[in-house]
Amino acid sequence: MPELDRAYRLDDRFDRTTGRAYLTGTQALVRLLLAQAAIDRRDGLNTAGLVSGYRGSPLGAVDQELWRAKDRLAAAGIRFQPGINEDLAAAALLGSQRVALDPAATVEGVFGLWYGKGPGVDRSGDALKHGNAYGSSRRGGVLVVAGDDHGCVSSSMSHQSDLALAAWHLPVIHPGSIAEYEAFGLWGFAASRFSGAWVGFKAISEVVEGAASVDLAPLPHFAAPDFTPPPGGLHIRWPDLPSLAIEARALNKLDAVRAFARATPLDRLVVAPERPRLLVVTVGKAHGDAMEAFRLLGYGPDALAAGGVAVLKVGLVHPLDSARIAGLAAGVETVLVIEEKAALVERQLRDGLYDLPGDRRPRILGKRDASGAPLVPDVEELRPSRLAGLLAEALRGLGLAVHEPDAVPAAPASGPLPVRTPYFCSGCPHNTSTRVPEGSQARAGIGCHFMANWMERDTTGIVPMGAEGVDWTGQAPFTRQAHVFQNLGDGTYFHSGHAAIRQAVASGANITYKILYNDAVAMTGGQPVDGVLTVPQITRLVAAEGAARVVVVSDDPDRVARAAARDPLGAGVAVHHRDELDAVQRSLRDTPGVTVLVYDQTCATEARRRRKRGLAAPVARRAVINPLVCEGCGDCQAKSNCLSVVPVETEFGRKRAIDQTGCNNDLSCLKGFCPSFVTLDGATPRRRPGVAVAPEAVAARAAALPEPDTMLGGAPYEILVAGVGGTGVVTVGALITMAAHLEGRGASVLDFMGFAQKGGQVLSFVRLAADPSALHQVRIDRGRADAVLACDLVVAASAEASAVIDPTRTRIVANTHEIPTGTTLRDPHARIDTRMLESLLARRVGAGALRSLDAQAMAARLTGDAQGANVLLLGFAWQCGLVPVSGAALDQAVALNGVAVPGNRLALAWGRLLAADPAFVAAQIAPEAAPAQDLDAVIDRRAEHLAAYQDEAYAARYRARVEAVRQRAGDGLAEAVARSLFRLMAIKDEYEVARLHSDPAFHARLSEEFEGPGSGGRVRPTFHLAPPLLARTRPGESEPRKIAFGPWVLPVLRGIAALKILRGRRFDPLALIAEQRAVLATYEAQIDAALALVGRADPTMLRDLLGAPEAIRGFGPVKARAIAAWRTRSEALLAAARAGNDTGAPLSRAG
């Protein structure tokens, strides 16, 4: 067993100078800055550092890491100054180089690092060109870190910034792994100081968003280049007035960089045969892809050298050291260039080798083969599997034998699969703020609110950041559409969006900007806006820009009023509650010109973070749904669009519940037209007790289990963790890789979250190796997964996850818990067929290679906390031998993670026991009451409920009717009637709602699940009801507003419940409306009609007919719409049954 590094601490990622460290790509950038400061201290230089830029994936977390390391950075003299946008940040870096010219300077120079994603590079072209042209200082230097999303995973389009940087005469370096970030970055600073150029540093998603265990190298020394600068030198100077001399100097700087690269090469000859016949030139990440492809073909470095194949890894991609490559290429038959996306190195290489004599000039292949046909892909990201074929042909061309890996069998055919799309977080302000009035259209923009595009919100379009709404000014003159709404995040407004509003005003367009003030840049991690931005400030600014009308809509108008007392709103600005959003938007829509609505509500996830840190008041009110009152209509979800309003299966069908662990207490769900909601003031959820076994005893029993074989072979071992954003999927990958790092093994992880907010798809690619040098790339290639930890079946069955599965090698552990998707949240009839998905995976790998369990249910019942489900699944997988790290290393990784350590250790232990000692686990769990399955139980439980609903006679009437159907048509049709007739007989009128809300069992459950603020922990419920005699419908609204009734109403509810004896009588004061009485009568007539057709009509059609009332759900106008739809459907079914024709797909069955 490998020796464990027990002394390792998380701070070692910055503090260690020798050995190995585990760090993310973003942390490697921080380490790079600290290393540059250390070099300057070593060399006796009095320098400082400046970092500025703007966040954006794949560099979305740079500012967070810099803030976390602020003490270290400050001690090293490094200042972090976030830019409000990328181009202004670049201008700040230009200023940092002028320190060398300042007679009042306190330091000799400032080394600077600019960062921004691809679009930020584009918009900052002028600033970056000016910075590079005027130059860096001798003891300063600037590194331009460009975050490129080659795969268009989290961007509006893919980016390749090296092409633009090269066009602007910046030298560009391209590290291919996290391990190269520090060395390349230090080289870049040194080259910038020598040449006077700003140096581009390409950071692609697949590297910078990963994490890895890396070897640490001593701080480097750089050789003095053989280069004589032109008169006046190459560095920043003044005066330096505009002239062509600046352009000439920029080209001279590139010559200086070439000289620096000759003295201290960044390019590396990885394979150097004595007599090469083929030179393979690789660039950045593509080098690892190519080396892995060679490995899969059976060719390691020694075999390649023996076969005459040289491999040159290019680090300086512009300007290319063509002279060195020409020397290597002289005499070889072919040069094959492997680079991702468009050709940059290949074009320079062709120019550099063009003048070689014909007999020494090799054939150059890359994006095209010798015949001009496509060869190396220039659009999609490279993978070893995408390179293996063309590399195999190249080897065969040398007369070498090649054994290509067997093709991975395609996934078995299946019907349409559920899709897990990204979603707004629970309680996200965008759930409400992105709605528009009926008949209106909204335009999307940059930010989380972009997801409104796929949420049935009449939202379309995409524009560059900061251009929101300007596209409408070009469309409006040529369309009959009079107006649009434009969503604009507060971060984007501060970044550049304010200029778009100015342009819209200048154009005279009719548009309403909705500035979504969430008090955080939620899309990249909840960072604050980079400066001071308040709601009152926005209102004054947009009014000054010429907005025709400005209003504020807030979830808390009183908060806005308090803020306005210190910081006045713009003149004439009105403040409205968010409940008035629709009316306010209609009014703005009818106002000519540019209008602005500032929607003020803090990002739900950021508010949750602040509560955890004690920076915000604790939750004052919690929402709960009484499951027996709930009809499962989904109106609460439709009104709130909230992930925490989840479907739950009950004895009486699918209902809704509030997931208290995910709920951010937005309380928009209360708007659902339904009396099932109860709120609890000051209450906190009680932690559910786990099983009676002490955690120490669980740990001891797990420790006594035999450890699985955790040895690694010569090839990498690859694990895919597939799950849902916000549930700890990334944590699982981090724990595994940290454990491997602690054992001295090679380890990397790449987390692909894309647009995955809460509820979106997350894939973590974990790769381990006994020899770290065996890990060439970070992503698991097609068919290469040894294990899949399926934390969610929907994601595990997706095309992206299925692609890495090989039926001959992959083993899977799967969580079978149904985790709702956006579709199942919005549609009360939608289901995720987990059995089908599990079967699909079993067919893919074979039943013996799949083990499954309901990890959420097990975690909740065993530990009292369902949030430990993914760690429990990890323990299960580890005990099954799917995770080759030692138990001691995994335990230390949990401790180092520092979050919920006791709970995670307990979850790991229970996961192990579930895998190896399921009988022991089963003996600890009390059986839970399951919904009735056989017909007798279905009838008995519903008859019992109807007796409490009305009386025994009413229940007997139900029994008799169902038994009559059973005798005539058998159990199949009788079950449909048993469920549907119960639904129509147990109508939730005022008597029933009062009975269920005053039921002692319901209040006992509240006390069991929540602790109140008063003595004894009693909870005091408030009921949210819309009694017909009291609730009122406001002008412009279609439904009555609910009224909150405090705990004082309980005696009243008991009194109303006692009056149920009057139900249906002549003097019933709360008589059911005629429509609902008619529904029951109509259904009973349909039962008779169906029985008359038994033996003649299609049985499935009759079952659909008699199960159709399952769709009748809800209250008031919601139920009225459902009844109308049921009538249409049932009449069509009955007519078709009589005619012997089918009308379409059957309705789903429920309780």
Lowest model confidence (mean pLDDT) among 233-242, 374-383, 518-527, 1121-1130: 518-527
For residue 309, give the H/E element and its range.
Answer: strand 309-314
Query: Do 936 and 888 form a contact (C-beta atoms < 8 A)?
Result: no
Strands 787-790 and 761-769: unpaired
Rounded Cα–Cα distance for residues 1106 and 1075 (Å): 19
Whole-number Cα distances in Å, 493 to 539, 738, 1017: 12, 39, 46
pLDDT of residue 1150: 36
Would you state the pLDDT for residue 408?
Answer: 82
pLDDT reading at 1151 higher than 50: no
Higher pLDDT, 1117 or 171: 171
pLDDT band of 1018, cuts 50, 70, 90: confident
Where does the pLDDT of residue 1146 fall: very low under 50, low under 70, confident under 90, or very high at 90 and above? Answer: very low
pLDDT exceeds cutoff 70 at 758: no
Q: What is the 3-state secondary structure (H, E, C) of 13-71?
A: HHHCCCCEEEEEHHHHHHHHHHHHHHHHHHCCCCEEEEEEECCCCCCCCHHHHHHHCHH
Structure letter (DSSP) for residue 900? S
pTM of the model: 0.93
State whether CATH 3.30.465.10 applies to domain 268-397.
no
Please report which confidence band the pLDDT of residue 324 belongs to, taking 50, 70 and 90 as the band edges: confident
- Which residue in this structure is represented by tokens 């006594």? 704
Check pLDDT > 70 for residue 562: yes
Residue type present at position 341: K
- Has residue 656 got a pLDDT over 60? yes
Domain 695-924 has CATH 3.40.30.10: no
448 or 234: which carries more pLDDT confidence? 234
Could you give the CA distance from residue 1079 to residue 1102 in angstroms, rounded to a whole number? 18
pLDDT at 322: 86
In the block, tokens 């960044």 appear at 266
Considering only residues 1091 and 1149, tell me which one the structure prediction assigns the higher pLDDT: 1091
Summarize pLDDT for 892-936 with one digit per residue, the tens. Answer: 999 999 999 999 999 999 999 999 999 999 999 877 766 767 899
pLDDT tens digit sequence for 45-55: 999 999 999 99
The whole-angstrom separation of Cα 752 and Cα 761 is: 8
Q: Does position 507 have pLDDT exceeding 50, yes or no?
A: yes
Q: CA–CA separation, 956 vs 295, rounded Å?
A: 75
pLDDT for 118-142, tens place per residue?
999 999 999 999 999 999 999 999 9
Distance CA 861, CA 771 (A): 41
Contact by Cβ (8 Å): 844, 411:
yes
**Alpha-carbon distances of 883 from 35, 740, 786, 854, 875, rounded to whole Å:** 34, 10, 9, 20, 9
DSSP state of 693: S
pLDDT of residue 756: 46
Of the CATH numbers 3.40.50.620, 3.30.160.20, 3.20.20.330, 3.40.50.970, which one belongs to the domain with range 430-602?
A: 3.40.50.970
Q: What CATH topology corresponds to 12-263?
A: Rossmann fold (3.40.50)
When mean pLDDT is compared across 332-341, 363-372, 521-530, 766-775, the lowest value belongs to: 521-530
C-alpha–C-alpha distance, residues 1104 and 980, integer Å: 11
Q: Residue 527's pLDDT is what?
A: 62
Q: Is the pLDDT of residue 1002 over 90?
A: yes
Domains of the chain: which residue ranges?
12-263, 268-397, 430-602, 620-673, 695-924
The reply to whether 430-602 shares the fold of 268-397 is: yes
Res 754: pLDDT: 57
Which tens digits make up the pLDDT trace of 762-805? 999 999 999 999 999 999 999 999 999 999 999 999 999 999 99
Query: Rounded CA gap, 819 and 646, in Å?
Result: 9
